[in-house]
Amino acid sequence: AQSVTQLGSHVSVSEGALVLLRCNYSSSVPPYLFWYVQYPNQGLQLLLKYTSAATLVKGINGFEAEFKKSETSFHLTKPSAHMSDAAEYFCAVSFSGGYNKLIFGAGTRLAVHP
Amino acid sequence: DAGVIQSPRHEVTEMGQEVTLRCKPISGHDYLFWYRQTMMRGLELLIYFNNNVPIDDSGMPEDRFSAKMPNASFSTLKIQPSEPRDSAVYFCASSLALTRSYEQYFGPGTRLTVT
């Protein structure tokens, strides 16, 4: 069965610092992987996705993630944090049974302080 | 495209009342998902439909919850009777199987408060 583990429910960084949000997955088949962002009082918005093409995926707002099969990881990074990046971030993996179903991680809340 | 539309955005009701949440998926999408989000339990998948047919409702918490999709452009999630523990944000999402990308598009959510 698929699962997603996000290490760290809360991450705090200084403005301008590197952002690193960790995601590890398990899947019996080649997965599709996603990062979604949720700003306060809003729905989830797709940040980026890996669908078996390039292993380094670039998304919106300067975020990127690297698919590492050997480590079963899909960590999200951004070189320099902005105050506007404060939000909750969800990693998700495709369900091997199809049906366009996604398995979501528990989420990581990112705080950015001046 | 207007995106996924949910109504109402906020709902406050008293315990025991019936609550109906509505969702309009993105036109042409053939999958529709209902999620619930709480601080305690995070994001939970309640039920999903493919071509208006329920595929998996194992996430529906109990018989008080029901969902329907009478046509490709409309779905409802009903709670009857509602209880305070149903207070949460309910999201609807849709996706298109043809793309084979699994990408889901989320609505803005309905914040439900049961007093």
CB contact, 8 Å: B74 with chain A?
A: no
Q: What is the pLDDT of residue B1?
A: 65
In the beta sheet, which residues pair with residue B44?
Answer: B36
Cβ contacts (< 8 Å) between A99 and chain B: which residues?
A: 31, 48, 50, 55-56
Per-residue pLDDT tens for B39-96? 889 999 999 999 999 999 999 988 999 999 999 999 999 999 999 999 999 999 999 9
State the Cα–Cα distance between residues B30 and B50, nearest whole angstrom. 6
Cβ contacts (< 8 Å) between A90 and chain B: which residues?
A: 43
Per-residue pLDDT tens for A48-99? 999 877 889 999 999 999 999 999 999 999 999 999 999 999 999 988 777 7
Cβ contacts (< 8 Å) between B2 and chain A: which residues?
A: none
Q: What is the 3-state secondary structure (H, E, C) of B51-73?
A: CCEEEECCCCCCCCEEEEEEECC
For residue A2, name the pLDDT band (cuts at 50, 70, 90): confident
CB contact, 8 Å: A59 with chain B?
A: no
| A73: nearest Cα among A91, A85, A61 | A91
Q: What is the pLDDT of residue A68?
A: 93
Nearest Cα of chain B lies from the Cα of A17 at a distance, in angstroms, of 28
Cβ contacts (< 8 Å) between B51 and chain A: which residues?
A: none
Q: What is the pLDDT of residue B15?
A: 97
| B71: nearest Cα among B114, B24, B108 | B24
Using alpha carbons, list the distances in angstroms from residue B82 to B32, B52, B63, B87, B115.
23, 25, 11, 9, 9
Q: Tell if the CB–CB gap between A100 and B102 is shorter than 8 Å.
A: yes
The single-letter code of the amino acid at B63 is D
Per-residue pLDDT tens for A6-51? 999 999 999 999 999 999 999 878 889 999 999 998 999 999 999 8
- On the 0-12 / 13-18 / 19+ scale of CB atoms within 10 A, A64 is middle
Q: What is the pLDDT of residue B7?
A: 97
